Amino acid sequence: MRPEILNSLFAEVETLDGVGPKVVKPLEKLGLTRVRDVAYHLPDRFVTRRPVENLDQASVGEQVVVPLTVTEHRAGRSGRGPYNVLAQDAIGNVCSLTYFGKASYTAKKQLPVGEKRWVAGRLDQYGQMLQIVHPDHVAEDSAGLLTTLNEPVYALSEGLTQPKVVGLATQALARLPELPEWIEPTQFSKAKWPAWADALKLAHKGEHPAARDRLAYDELLANSLALALVRADNRKRRGQRLQGDGSLRSRLELPFPLTGAQQRSIREIEGDLAQDTPMLRLLQGDVGSGKTVVALEAMLVAVEAGAQAALLAPTEILARQHFETLRRMLAPTGVEIALLTGRDKGRARESILMGLHDGGIRIVVGTHAIFQDTVTYRNLGLIVIDEQHRFGVSQRLTLAGKGRVTPHTLAMTATPIPRTLTLAQYGEMEVSRLDEMPPGRQAIDTVVVSTDRLSEMVERLAAQLEAGAQAYWVCPMVHELENEDIAAAEARFAALKERFGDAVVLVHGQLRPEAKDAAMERFAAGDAKLLVATTVIEVGVDVPNATLMIIEQAERFGLAQLHQLRGRVGRGSQKSVCVLLRGEALSEVGRERLALMRESQDGFYLAEEDLRLRGGGELLGTRQSGDAPFKLATLEQIQRLLPLAHDDARLLMERDGGLASPRGEAARVLLYLFERDWGVQLLRGG
C-alpha cells in the first residue's frame, strides 16, 4: 500500500482549482494526471526581464518591463494581417505592440488609447520600428509585474498557457507534505543539497543547480534501489538447475561458425543456467552479431534438461520472424516449436495451449499472449525477452510467475548501450556482450547525399528495383505538419507509388496492426520491392534481398537510431548501400553525426559517440525506440550522479538493513513517490 503521507500528491489533477474538462485533456497530453506530475513538471528555462524607464535604456533582443502610453490601434487591411497597437514611452519613443490572430481581441481590452500600461516582453525591431510581438504581460501598474522579472517557462500543449501552468504548479507545491530524508546523511551534507520539498520549490523559481541535482539524484536513487531489491530478491528465489547433454545442440546446422564472443556468452549463460538461483542476464549484441543463435543455444540447454523455453517479442511482426528463423534452424533437431500471438483463435489456439500444458511443445515464440492467464506450461524453465528496453522490470517480474519455480531470464537488446548507461537501465542484471561480427558479413557502404539530389536518388532506386533487389525508404514523420519542413512517410509513399505502382508498401506506427503486418508480409515475401516507413522498422525486419536503405533528412535522427536503421540491409550475400539524405540546414552536431556514420559500423562505438554528441540537454538515446527510465535526470547528471546513487542503494541494502531500517522506511516512501514500488512488492509484507 502507498504510504498515506503521499496521498495528497497522488490525488487526481482535477482536485486543483481551475482544472475542468477543457484543461484536463491538454494536461493529459503532457502526462500530468496527478498533483505529483504537476509538481515535477519543472520549467524548461527561465526568462529574466529588466525593468527600464524608457526604451533608450533597453537593447534590441532584450527582455524588458517598460511603461508605455497607448496612442493608436491599427488593424490589418485584410483582417488577416497583424494587429498593431502603437504606444510611446516617457521620452517619446514609439513602439508597436504587435498581435496576430485572436490575440487582437485581448489587445483591444488590455490597451485602451490614452492609458498607461506596464508591458513585459522581448524588444525587437522591424524595419525602423521598435516592436514587442505578443507581449507576455500587460499590467495597469508596475507592482503587477514585479513577479515576472524572473519567470519560469514551462512545456505546454494546445489549450494551456504559461500563467495557467504557473498557477497549477503553485497549487501543487502548496500541497507538498513533509517527507522523511532518504539520502545517506554524509552524502546529503557533503553535497549541500536542500531538503526535498525545498528543492522542488526552488526548481520552479529559478536556476538552482543544487535543487535540480537533488531531484535528479532522488530519481536515480529510486531506480538504483528498486533494481537492487530485484537482484536481492532473485538471490533468494529458488530456480531449477538446467544442464544439457549437448544432444540437441550437436544437431544444429549453423550458417556460420560461432564467433569468440558468441562462445563466451554461451558459456556465461550455461554457467548461470546450471545454478539453482534464477539467471538474470542481458545479452547485448550489435545488429547482425548473432544474438538469435546464442538465444537458441540457451533454449536448447533448457530443452535438453527437460524444461520448456519461451521467447517473448515486442511485436507480432518480430515474433513471426523469430519463429520462422528458429523453425528452420531447429529442423534437424526434431524439437517442436510453436508461434502464439493474440491473433490465434479457435482450434489452432487450443492445440497450442494443450501442447504447452502437456509439454509436447518445447519452445514457444510470441507476443504477450504467451503469458496470459489462460496459458499454462508443464515446466517453463527459461524466458528469453527480445528488445529488452521495451519491457519494464515490473513486466518481467509478472512473467517470472509462470513457472513451477522461478524461470531463468535472458534479455536481449540490439540497441548498443554505452557502458555508462548500462547500470542505469539494467542494474539488476549480469551483462554479456557480443562485440564481434560473424564471418562473411559484408560492410555496408554509407554515403551522405544532399536532398537537392532527390530525383537522382529515385533513379538510382529504380535501377536497384529493376535489377531484382529490394529497398527501404525511411522518413522521420508519418504525416506532414503545417509550418514544419519535415519529410513525411505518407507523402513520400504517395509520390513513389506514382512512379513504382503496387511495388511500394507503407508501414508506420499509426497503421492498424493487420494493415502493417500485411505490408510487411508482402515485402518479406518479395511481392513488394520498396518499403516506405518510419522508424517502426528500426528493429526486427530481416529481408536478405533488401540491399538499399535511403534515410531522408538523416540529420533528424540520433546516431544509434541511424545505425539500427542501416542494419536492416547487409543481411544477404549482395553488397548493400545506405544513403543518408541530408537537408540544407545542417548543424555542426548533425554534420559530425553523419560523418561518424560514414566512418564506423561499430554500434558500441557509435553509441558512446551518440552519448557525447547529445550532451546534457537530452535524455537517454533509447527514448527514440522505447521509454527511457528517467524524466528528471539529464545525461550529464546520470553520468555524474548515478555512481553515487548506486553506491548509496548498495549501502542501504548491505549496511543499513534495507527497507526495514529507519532510513529504509524513508526510502520506501521514495520508491512509491517515483513509482518504483514493484521493488517494494518484492519484500515480504511490502
- Average pLDDT of the chain to the nearest whole number: 87
Whole-number pLDDT of residue 440: 65
Choices 3.30.870.10, 3.20.20.70, 3.30.200.20, 3.40.50.300: CATH for 249-434: 3.40.50.300
Tell which wins on pLDDT, 529 or 231.
529
DSSP letters for 526-580: TS-SEEEE-GGGSSS---TTEEEEEEETGGGS-HHHHHHHHTTS--SSS--EEEE
Buried b / exposed e over 556-590, threshold 16 CB at 10 Å, is bbbbbbbbbbbbbbbbbeeebbbbbbbbeebeeeb
Homologous superfamily (CATH) of 445-600 is: P-loop containing nucleotide triphosphate hydrolases (3.40.50.300)
Spatial CB neighbours of 66, under 8 Å, sequence gap ≥ 6: 51, 52, 53, 54, 55, 58, 89, 95, 118, 119, 123
Asked if residue 216 has pLDDT above 50, the reply is yes
Instruction: Report how far residue 391's alpha carbon sits from residue 623's, in angstroms, rounded to the nearest whole number.
Output: 13
pLDDT tens track for 30-86: 999 999 999 999 999 999 999 999 999 999 999 999 999 999 999 877 667 789 999
Those residues whose C-beta lies under 8 Å from the C-beta of residue 236, and which sit 6 or more positions away, are: none
Amino acid sitting at position 395: Q
**Spatial separation of the C-alpha atoms in residues 337 and 248, rounded to whole Å:** 14
Instruction: Specify which residues 504 forms β-bridges with.
Output: 530
Question: What does the pLDDT look like over 106-126, one tens digit per residue?
Answer: 888 899 999 999 999 999 999
Sign of CA dihedral 240, 246, 250, 255: positive
Domains 249-434 and 445-600 fall in the same CATH topology:
yes
Q: Does domain 4-45+168-205 have CATH number 1.10.150?
A: yes
Pick the CATH number of 48-151 from 2.40.50.140, 3.40.1190.20, 3.40.50.720, 1.20.1300.10: 2.40.50.140
Check whether 484 has a pLDDT greater than 60.
no
Taking the CA of residue 677 as centre, how many other CA atoms within 13 Å lie in the half-sphere pointing to its CB? 10
**Residue 143 confidence (pLDDT):** 79
Inter-axis angle of helices 196-205 and 162-174, nearest 10: 160
Pick the range with the lowest mean pLDDT from 398-412, 489-503, 578-592.
398-412
Q: State yes or no: pLDDT of 358 exceeds 60.
A: yes
Asked if the model's pLDDT at residue 621 lies above 90, the reply is: no
Closest C-alpha among 170, 173, 399, 103 to residue 278: 399
What are the sequence ranges of the domains in the chain? 4-45+168-205, 48-151, 209-236+631-681, 249-434, 445-600
Indicate the pLDDT class of residue 397, thresholds 50, 70 and 90. Answer: low
Question: What number of residues does the chain have?
Answer: 686
**Model confidence at 685: pLDDT above 80:** no
- Mapped onto helix, strand or coil, the DSSP state of residue 346 is helix
* pLDDT reading at 8 higher than 60: yes
Check residues 638 and 296 and name the one with the higher pLDDT.
296
Q: If 0-12 CB within 10 Å is exposed, 13-18 middle and 19+ buried, where does residue 430 land?
A: middle
Q: Where are the beta strands (DSSP E) in 110-250?
A: 116-122, 124-126, 129-133, 137-139, 150-153
Residue 479 has pLDDT above 70, yes or no: no
pLDDT, average across residues 461-481? 87
Distance, in Å, from the CA atom of 618 to the CA atom of 611, rounded to the nearest integer, reads: 9
pLDDT-based confidence at residue 494 (cuts at 50, 70, 90): very high
Q: What is the dihedral of CA 255, 261, 263, 269, to 10 degrees?
A: -120
Query: Which pLDDT band, with edges at 50, 70 and 90, does 590 fall under?
Result: confident
Regarding predicted confidence, which is higher, 286 or 409?
409
Q: What are phi and psi of 253, to 5 degrees?
A: -110, 90
Of 358, 354, 383, nearest to 368 (Cα)? Answer: 383
pTM: 0.73
Name which residue leads in pLDDT, 395 or 202: 202
Distances (CA, A) of 227 to 209, 653, 675, 684: 27, 11, 13, 16
